[in-house]
């Protein structure tokens, strides 16, 4: 998939590529895969990648949970970036949330030992659910979140910060199990 074998970082729901493009330029020693379901967003990210001449980025249009559960090989990912997954705030819709126990199993299986999962959300109750799911089973340990420069912000993060909303962030490390 990539010309140079390097650690792979996956941006889940990469949108128009705000974080993805920053990361690919800032970390040329890594390869990046952007997963996005919406074609319009993916096309915008692709144009930016082409304009910048980035060779360490690939994009795929697919449902992220399917991609991670069925297409990503085991023990192959160094870092997942999951920024602002849809919170589905209504109680009756919460089963549609991205973070479910099966998804956490897939993250664990596809991450390399010591691999990272970075999470950002503006929804406090969803963050609490993510914390519980990631702590369950002792397969991940929570560590201090990565501190990123303003240039790395996603479009949603910019919007939420302008609205004065708090942002919850965490980082999880896959334990050697």
Beta bridge partners of 79: 9, 116
pLDDT one-digit tens code per residue, 34-71? 999 999 999 999 999 999 999 999 999 999 999 999 99
- Between strands 77-83 and 8-12, the pairing is parallel
Higher confidence at residue 95 or residue 29? 29
pTM over 0.85: yes
Cβ atoms < 10 Å from Cβ of 161: 14
Which residues belong to the active site?
86
Q: What are the structural domain ranges in the chain?
A: 8-174
- Under 8 Å between Cβ of 116 and 80: yes
CATH architecture of 8-174: 3-Layer(aba) Sandwich (3.40)
71-80 average pLDDT score = 96
pLDDT, mean over the chain = 92
Cβ atoms < 10 Å from Cβ of 173: 16
DSSP run (H or E) holding 142: strand 140-143
In the structure, what pLDDT confidence band is assigned to residue 173 with cuts at 50, 70 and 90? very high
């Amino acid at each position: 998939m990539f010309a140079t074998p390097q650690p792979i970082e996956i941006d889940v729901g990469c949108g128009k590529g705000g974080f993805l493009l920053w990361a690919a330029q800032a970390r040329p020693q890594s390869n990046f895969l952007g997963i996005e379901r919406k074609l319009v967003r993916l096309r915008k990210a692709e144009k930016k990648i082409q304009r910048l001449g980035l060779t360490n980025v690939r994009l795929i249009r697919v449902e992220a949970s399917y991609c991670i559960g069925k297409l990503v090989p085991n023990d192959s990912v160094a870092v997942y970036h999951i920024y602002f997954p849809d919170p589905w705030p209504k109680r009756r819709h919460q089963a549609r949330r991205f973070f479910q126990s099966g998804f956490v199993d897939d993250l664990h299986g596809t991450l390399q030992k010591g691999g990272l999962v970075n999470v950002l959300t503006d929804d406090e109750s969803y963050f609490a659910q993510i914390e519980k799911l990631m702590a369950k089973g002792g397969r991940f340990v929570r560590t201090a979140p990565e501190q990123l420069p303003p240039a790395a912000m996603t479009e949603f993060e910019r919007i939420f910060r302008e609205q004065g909303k708090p942002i919850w962030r965490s980082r999880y490390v896959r334990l050697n199990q």
